[in-house]
Amino acid sequence: MATQPTLTSPDRYAKTSFHRKSIWRSAAIAVVVLLVFVAAVIALDRLLNPQLSGLALLGVGVVLAVVPAGLWLTFFYVQDRVEPEPVGYVGRMFVIGFALAGALGIPLTNSVFRVQDWLYRDPLSTIFGSLLIGAIETFIIYATVRYFMFDEAEFDERTDGVVYCTAAALGYATAINLQFILNSGGSGLGGSEVYIAELALAYAAFGGVIGYFLGHAKLERDPIWWLPLGFLITVLLSGLFFVMRGQLETGGISVGAPAELPSIKGLVLAGALAVIVTAVVSLLVNRDVNRALSSQPNASGGDPTIGDRQANWVVVALFAALLLIGAIGWNGVVNGVTAFNNGAIGGAYPSGYGIVKDPAAALHVADRVGSGAEFIVASKALQAGQDVRTVSSMLAAERATAYTAYKLIDTRPAILNNRQVQVQQFAYVDAAGLNGGVPRVIQGADYIFMMNNRAVIATMLAAPDTIGDVDPLFTAFVNSLTIK
């Protein structure tokens, strides 16, 4: 890492007492323009109702994903013409933030911790998941500026931290938005732009908070806890946003067709957050500038950033601790179980699954937030002479009546908990789905226990693309069953 330049006393006094007011004007105008742009996209979508598909839909989606960040950065470029700030540095922070999000941030949240599968299952999972997302994303935004810009000579004003961190945060938001567009094959204009603009505004706010602390640390002799405090505040702010967003945002985004507009509440929340953060950071910088103006330059002041490297190691340690806490919470949510016992049948199902009212079942639970899988335990009375083949035929008749194209794929005997069971795999087409909607293919498995004059059937239902993740949970669930 390059040696950080030390400002002389006159330079330091001039820089610490300089207030780049146009940045705050640019931020405020950018929020307004972005909201106007979203409204225009929604209006055009509703007025023209364009029928896009394939590459056209994907291309429009990609453009919409980058426009919010482009608008924000354009306003900073315009103000840069009056008060020079190397636009290349701002662009570099955006690109590095984008790259680190794609290489580290998104894989950690989506592939390692799979937060999207359990974030809003219950209040505890929402808290743990939101803090985990906040810690990962805040650290990457922080690291982008701390390791790739902090030691540059051009990082020499109080507001530079806000500018560079905002650019890094917008790079991160753009990476998430592009992932959404590419994974879905495109999206409708109105619904997608609400979601995209919501993320851009929120992440710009997160960048503004951590950027204030970095800018202060560059020009002042701060205690070792200063940067860790800024990091923790940004993590908590990010986590609070995702908790509140989960409570407010109830809409969805259709894929491959004009989107049903998600709830506008999430966008309003993000816009309010961006405005509030801009105002608060502006007040804090004003306060710092006034303090600098009221003090006299000190020729023996030395390097004002002594100790920032130690503070950086504390930030790294704090990030590691938050990751550990998040991992513990993730393990508890993903691998936790809830016991049940209705007298004749007992066991434990995944704690993230919710009870489904089903008078015909001894237990019916479903993962309504994540995979959509269902676990069902039912008991059927048998007549004399009826065997497991009879039970299989009864299930086939029931499902063929309720669903389309029911097919028994495989059947085999097995031993489970010292009991003889019949295992069968099947598939069918559900015309409505659990909550209503477009037809979908369902795969499932039955474990059939024969108990004298009755049969106990444990059933798993899941979509083909999630059955690989659900099957281990169902196996553990079946193994936990006690039947009297």
Tokens 């002041």 belong to residue: 301
Helix count and strand count (H, E) for the chain? 13, 10
Under the banding of pLDDT at 50, 70 and 90, the label for residue 304 is: low
Asked whether the predicted pLDDT for residue 228 surpasses 90, the reply is: yes
What is the per-residue pLDDT across 35-51, written as a single tens digit (0 to 9) for each?
A: 787 777 777 767 777 76
Question: What is the pLDDT of the chain when averaged over all its residues?
Answer: 81
Edge-first strand listing for the sheet containing 354-355: 354-355, 363-366, 374-381, 454-462, 440-451, 419-430, 404-416
What one-character DSSP code corresponds to residue 143? H
353-385 per-residue burial string, b: 16 or more CB within 10 A, e: under 16: beeeeeeebbbbbbbbbbbbbbbbbbbeebeee
Mean pLDDT of 27-33: 72
pTM of the model: 0.77
For 75-127, the DSSP string reads HHHHHHTTS---HHHHHHHHHHHHHHIIIIIHIIIIIIS-GGGTTTSSHHHHH
Measured N-to-C along each axis, helices 9-16 and 265-294 cross at an angle, to the nearest 10 degrees, of 140
Mean pLDDT of 315-330: 91
All CATH 3.40.1000.10 domain ranges in the chain, comma separated: 337-483
Under the banding of pLDDT at 50, 70 and 90, the label for residue 7 is: very low
Asked whether the predicted pLDDT for residue 453 surpasses 60, the reply is: yes
Check residue 366 and give its pLDDT. Answer: 92
What is the per-residue pLDDT across 93-139, written as a single tens digit (0 to 9) for each?
A: 999 999 999 999 999 998 888 888 788 777 788 888 899 999 999 99
Q: What is the CATH number of domain 337-483?
A: 3.40.1000.10
What is the per-residue pLDDT across 144-193, written as a single tens digit (0 to 9) for each?
A: 999 999 988 888 787 888 889 999 999 999 999 888 877 766 555 666 77
Mean pLDDT of 239-253: 73
Calpha distance 61→401 (Å, rounded): 41
For 162-180, the DSSP string reads HHHHHHHHHHHHHHHHHHH
Mean pLDDT lowest for which of 28-42, 271-285, 296-310? 296-310
Closest listed residue to residue 208, CA positions, set 283, 116, 104: 283
Check residue 306 and give its pLDDT. Answer: 65
Check residue 311 and give its pLDDT. Answer: 93
For 7-44, the DSSP string reads PPHHHHHHHHT---HHHHHHHHHHHHHHHHHHHHHHHH
Check residue 347 and give its pLDDT. Answer: 93
